[in-house]
Structure 1
Amino acid sequence: MSQIVFSGSFSSEGGLEWAEDGCYFVTEILIKHHDSRSSWDFTCCCLPEELLELILQRVTDIVDLYQCSNVCHSWRSIARKQSALLPPQLLVLRNPNNVIDKIQMINMFIGSSSVCKIPEFNTRDGVRYMPMIVESSHGWLVMNYNTSKSRKVEGHLNYICLYNPLSREEIWLPPLLLNSENPKFVLSSKPTNPSCIVLALHEKKLVFWRFGNKKWTFLKNVEYWINDIICYKDEFHALQMKGNPPYPEVPYLLQVKFSPKCHVKSIPTKSNRSFYFAFNYLVESLCGNLWMVCTVLGNLGTSTLKFQVYKLHWKMMKWEKIKSLGDQAIVLACNDSVCVQADESTVYKKNCIYFTDDLCNGRGPSKEFGTYDLENETMNHLPFLNHDNPCYRWFKLDIWYND
């Protein structure tokens, strides 16, 4: 069995006092499981829960915390709680020739970073495929592979890889015939779950893949473009805007259900605002509400002026504007926006939106990165990282008990 050693001393109250340099020392030992400078030896799985929580609170690196979660069930339970407090990692996708050749994972709050290994895919005749789109869902990356040659052909095959950048697990899905270069993918759960369903939207078509299928299944043509898709309370929901100028757009909520059979239900919703010149995202709050985050654009649609947040009133099917997120913050991203706890125990500022620009809005590579204070309606633009033609995504560590 793995052994763990640490440096420190117990206080009279039974807690643990750490030396100024002891925090980093303990973190290193947790990961490496050995060191000759120990004062005591402990069986790692027998540590008291209170002590284990104190130790893992000092693990701020996402890779280290993932490794800690693999020690045993008790470590996984504490690491799962701690992962909810860690900030999502900023994925910087280097995209010099419209293909992604480097993925860097950065903690924007402490400055740590690591480079993700990109899975290789080669055809039988030796042609190397590179990912051209990378999205994030449930702690996995959805990577869409293609060759620069095939992208010029209408109706080309795309090879989809579900990839865990921490464990380096790969799950290759059946090829998908696409006419669009920017499809959206949403997972219902972690792909290691046998009940996982992958829903893909390209152009105005919905197709899905479920565990064990040998091909994608066509679901439905949709009449209007879909803004965003989310898996909310174990069901897929999509936001769709219907209407043509000069008439106001009407937001519709598409519910995609797979039990007892696959079907799509379109539900009109009410709102007291126009959604023109805005991009809209769906996000689930920590208390289970469905929120819609609207970006209001300026400068002919090339920059973000402000954000507005609406909560869906399910009985009235009406979007109601809210001015406070409470002790929460929103990390906004294409297909995988998340709410995070924002209080003194976290690095987030409550009632704020952390955002990046992305390819979903059709304006090309990202040139915006910053925070927006919903209460004060103030924008703080941060300098984007100087990479070759960068794109930004967020990656949130998702630790499950049954991994």
Structure 2
Amino acid sequence: MDDGEKVEWSELPKELLPTIGKNLDTRIDIVRFRSVCNTWRSSIPHFLSYSPRFPLIFPTPYSAPTPNRTPAYLCQSTIYRLQSLNPSSTSLNKAWLIKVEQDSNSGGKFRLFDPISNRRTRYPIPNKTLNLFDSRVVELTKAYTLRYQFRAGSSTSTNEIEQVLSVFDTPIFGVNKVVMFPDSPWTNVNASAAFVIFNDGKLGFAKSGDEELILVDRESFDYDDIIVYKGQFYVINSLGIVSWIDHSSLKLVQFLPPLCGLGSQKHLVESCGALYVVDRYLDRERRVENDAFYMGGADCAQSIGFKVYRFDEEWGRWELKESLGDRAFVLGNDCCFSVMAKELSGYKRNCIYFTDQDEVRARVFSLEDNSFGYLSYSEESHPSWPLPNLL
């Protein structure tokens, strides 16, 4: 084939299209695939006919008499990296992060969250719209939360919009982390399962449709974080012991040597195919009230330092990393992930972005000089636009 010869993707053999389409792992890629032409669109079904419609009813982690028990809902959000293909200035040529949640119970209504603090954000710039044909959209990761839903007042209106607006939700207090697997668009909801870390480090498990949350480990209640790494669940406790969870038997198998980190809180992060632990040092012990971590107040714990460890699979040991290179780690309240800092407006390489328990504004810790600062929020780094249907 000559170098100058062009290949029309729409002319690929039809028998290859279903195989290509079913190997796409993100919803945005499936949307792109189905947008090529009518032949490509008809070669694979829409993912909504397969994947779960969130929020999903989920067992509450707290026991209560059945008549008084409030149902919990498992909610999914997606973190995207967006970049304009036609920037109006050099500074706007960089990408930014957005966190989007779509609620199927409200007619597909979108909600926008801050990727670090997980707090709801609004759209203060009324005259801007986002055209996906003018933007490069990359899905970075998914995040999950448990919430209670309630209706404000006793609405008897038959108007669908008024009914939707009268429903509110609130995060379930004391739930520290939720992960779900598999989370592929092609996964049937009945084939998915979730692990929950709640209270002061208890580890729970439930499948879709279960009425009760199963306590995985009845002897240890000090788990800090859980992650899906290479298709498996891994959990870390406050002592730095990482264990693999056998999905079928729910047994924990110590997978790695203990980290022996002296920090107060451990975070699991996957970056470029490798497993990292971020050890967070606090100025005091995390306070526990009513069997759940205290989330605010003048005496809540503050971060005073971080150390990063990478697992060396060849030698089977943890290595202290002095630098993250060109990457940065984001320690969100419901998920942790890695980004290429130079691609994002407002982000710096070799840094960790996080919030403490009583803070709204995201902070930044530099591994280069061990200094603290704040992430600069601006229209360029965090534009707020009314969102079209991304999914």
TM-score (norm 2): 0.49
Greater RCO, 1 or 2 (C-alpha within 8 Å, sep 6+): 2
TM-score (norm 1): 0.48
The structure where strand makes up a greater share of residues is: 1
